[in-house]
Amino acid sequence: MARQKILVLGGGFGGVFCAKHLQKLLGKDHDIELVCENNYFVFQPLLPEVAAGTINAEDAVSPLRALLPGVKFRMADIRRIDHANQRVYVMQGRKRVMVPLSYDQLVIASGQQVDLSRFPGLQEHALRMKNLADAHRLRNHIINCLEHADVTHDPQLKRRLLTFIVAGGGFSGVETTGEMEEMLTRSLKFYPNITRAEIRIMLIEYLPRILPELPEKLADYTALQLKKRGIEMLLGVGIKSATGTMVETMDGQRLETATIVATIGNGPSQLLKALPVELERGKLATDSFFQVKGMERVWALGDAALIPLPEDKDGKPRFAPPTAQFASREALCLARNMQCLLTEKPLKPFDYKPLGSLASIGAYKAVGEMFGIKLSGTFAWILWRTFYLGMLPGGMTKLRVGINWFLDYCFPRTTVKFKQWSEPSARYLRFAQGDIVFYPGQIPEGFYTIVKGTLGVTMKGPDGQQFIKTMGKGEHLGERELLGQIPGQPSATTGAVTALEETTVLVMDRKDFRRFTKVFPALEQYFEEYIESHYPEYLKPVPIEDPQQKIAN
């Protein structure tokens, strides 16, 4: 068979292990490429420990390139799957250029997205626990609350700063609550004006019990343990809405808080929604070989996929649950099926019986079930750590996490609070005479306003002749792409934009610009008028050109 290009989207459990197995089985005869917006793999179950400061963010992750020798790796945002032409459009590099990647076989392992839009205010005010940045942010937020509560003289504000609410009683919510309690309690010795009695930690779950993944007996044990440690549980109660100072529950309680952690609300990503197939339960429906129904040459696994398992005894359909254990087993089975396909052997349906599941609840305790045996307490916790250390890919990461655990056991928890590492969103750029500000086809990273100097835009006149339009102080660029076109589609700028003399521009980040222009009437009106007078052709559909033709990047 001719050399095939196998493209894997996503660097989570499913994607990474699938690429690894594919490389092993097929790497000699075919090309495997993995695309992910981050260049590292993060072991999702450890996120609560990162949020609680047990493990450093930098130690909880493994570089993908080191994990995947032989696999071509590309750090890029995945923007659009053009299935008809067997291409994936990604945005890569410092200059944000759109690059099309062609494929013969496509593996989608890009997971799900958090969607909190059903709960007014939660989208705006809730912290999440989905990725490493979320965990890091939660940790800094908690320490910020302690720092502020230690110096404020306002009792109401202090109470609010010291109330911590977690929404969702699944694995992620329970682990986060437990770890958070341990962190808060252990940090108190450094905050002389805060006592444990002033701290309120609450777990809110819509179902009448926590940990639906585990038997009821273990859930009860966990609830008892958490209660003993002073954690309040609100079960059978949904969250209705939130603001920056409180959470409102379905039964009308208003809980004042500065910290809401949402572990609820998983939904499909924009990438999946844009595909020409109907999603089932917000996921890509596959057959039992991982092939996406209705899309040839496309496979899916992990949280993004709805994978059938053999029916249960009563003939009811079953599907693979979205856990790390399943994802890593799916990865192996998918890779083998891909090999079967390429070597024209029959494919094998997926089935897997998990070993069990364990949840750490902080303070050296865990709960779970292994090989059908219920486990709880310190022994389960040691098993949990051993098991997870085993699952962690990469020897270096295992060692680093192990050292973190050891240090955390021996020493007080660190209470360092990092500033956000961010640049201000609006930043100045300087161009020397002759510098290219935009390449043809380049997606502007934001809205450009000229502070001083002159830019020249290469344009085509109605007679087909090229000419240079000059722009000076106060004039701006990028509004068309930012306000009108579908995100991720190449801009219709005719040609390059060049600095005709030394020029400084202010760039406002695209997301900020869009949000601000949308809600601020003076700006909205200004751009409406501006676009009407400057781009009368604006409402006509713009043909998408293949950017590969124009730029090499």
Q: Which of 31, 59, 198, 232 binds a copy of itself (CB under 8 A)?
A: 59
Q: Which of 4, 185, 325, 414 binds a copy of itself (CB under 8 A)?
A: 414
Q: Which of 422, 465, 533, 549 binds a copy of itself (CB under 8 A)?
A: 422
**Residue 315 lies near a copy of itself (rule: CB under 8 A):** no
What is the rounded CA–CA span in Å between residue 124 and residue 88? Answer: 31
Amino acid at 152: T
Q: Which is nearer to a copy of itself, 152 or 494 (CB)?
A: 152
Q: How far apart are the first and last CA of the chain?
A: 30
Q: Which of 2, 84, 197, 522 binds a copy of itself (CB under 8 A)?
A: 522
Q: Which is nearer to a copy of itself, 24 or 476 (CB)?
A: 476
Query: To 10 degrees, the CA torsion angle through 522, 524, 526, 529?
Result: -140
Q: Which is nearer to a copy of itself, 315 or 434 (CB)?
A: 434
Residues 380-409 that bind a copy of itself (CB under 8 A): 396, 399-400, 403, 407
Q: Which of 519, 533, 539, 540 binds a copy of itself (CB under 8 A)?
A: 519
What is the rounded CA–CA span in Å between residue 452 and residue 501? Answer: 9
What is the rounded CA–CA span in Å between residue 111 and residue 473? Answer: 45
Q: Which is nearer to a copy of itself, 159 or 476 (CB)?
A: 476
Is the backbone of residue 364 left (phi > 0), alpha (psi -120 to 50) or beta? left
**Residue 429 lies near a copy of itself (rule: CB under 8 A):** yes
Q: Which of 4, 27, 190, 325 binds a copy of itself (CB under 8 A)?
A: 190
Q: Which of 523, 534, 545, 546 binds a copy of itself (CB under 8 A)?
A: 523
Q: Which residue bears the tokens 């009792």?
A: 155
CB 180 within 8 A of CB 51: yes
Site residue total, a copy of itself (CB under 8 A): 102
Q: Binding mask 94-123 vs a copy of itself (x if CB under 8 A, - otherwise)? A: x-------------------------xx-x
What is the rounded CA–CA span in Å between residue 526 and residue 75? Answer: 37
Q: Which of 31, 100, 144, 398 binds a copy of itself (CB under 8 A)?
A: 144
Q: Residue 246 contacts by C-beta under 8 Å, 6 or more apart in sequence?
A: 254, 255, 256, 257
What is the rounded CA–CA span in Å between residue 322 and residue 490? Answer: 35
Residue 148: CB minimum distance to a copy of itself, A:
5
Q: Which of 3, 316, 421, 543 binds a copy of itself (CB under 8 A)?
A: 421
What is the rounded CA–CA span in Å between residue 425 and residue 402? Answer: 37
Residue spans of alpha helices (H) in 229-323: 270-273
Q: Which residue bears the tokens 């890569």?
A: 92
Q: Residue 179 contacts by C-beta under 8 Å, 6 or more apart in sequence?
A: 48, 49, 51, 52, 54, 360, 362
**Residue 363 lies near a copy of itself (rule: CB under 8 A):** no
Q: Which of 315, 317, 390, 474 binds a copy of itself (CB under 8 A)?
A: 474
Question: At 66, is the secondary structure helix, strand, or coil?
Answer: helix
Residue 94: CB minimum distance to a copy of itself, A:
6
**Residue 431 lies near a copy of itself (rule: CB under 8 A):** yes
Residues 229-268 that bind a copy of itself (CB under 8 A): 241-246, 248, 254, 258
Q: Which is nearer to a copy of itself, 57 or 496 (CB)?
A: 57
**Residue 487 lies near a copy of itself (rule: CB under 8 A):** no
Residue 487: CB minimum distance to a copy of itself, A:
14
Q: Which of 29, 93, 355, 386 binds a copy of itself (CB under 8 A)?
A: 93
What is the rounded CA–CA span in Å between residue 227 and residue 49? Answer: 20
Amino acid at 329: R
Residues 212-231 that bind a copy of itself (CB under 8 A): none
Q: Which is nearer to a copy of itself, 220 or 435 (CB)?
A: 435
Residue 311: CB minimum distance to a copy of itself, A:
42
Rg of the chain (C-alpha set)? 26
**Residue 511 lies near a copy of itself (rule: CB under 8 A):** yes
Residue 449: CB minimum distance to a copy of itself, A:
5
Residue 30: CB minimum distance to a copy of itself, A:
17
Please report how the helices 324-342 and 13-26 are oriented relative to each other, as an axis angle in degrees rounded to 10: 30
What is the rounded CA–CA span in Å between residue 93 and residue 354? Answer: 40
Please report how the helices 378-391 and 395-410 are oriented relative to each other, as an axis angle in degrees rounded to 10: 150
Q: Residue 229 contacts by C-beta under 8 Å, 6 or more apart in sequence?
A: 178, 181, 185, 362, 363
**Residue 551 lies near a copy of itself (rule: CB under 8 A):** yes
Q: In this structure, are strands 127-128 and 259-262 parallel, antiparallel, or unpaired? A: parallel
**Residue 461 lies near a copy of itself (rule: CB under 8 A):** no
Residue 38: CB minimum distance to a copy of itself, A:
7
Please report how the helices 510-519 and 521-534 are oriented relative to each other, as an axis angle in degrees rounded to 10: 100
**Residue 544 lies near a copy of itself (rule: CB under 8 A):** no
Q: Which is nearer to a copy of itself, 44 or 62 (CB)?
A: 62
Distance, CA of 421 to chain centre? 18
Q: Which is nearer to a copy of itself, 148 or 229 (CB)?
A: 148
Residue 478: CB minimum distance to a copy of itself, A:
12
What is the rounded CA–CA span in Å between residue 327 and residue 10? Answer: 12
Residues 331-360 that bind a copy of itself (CB under 8 A): none
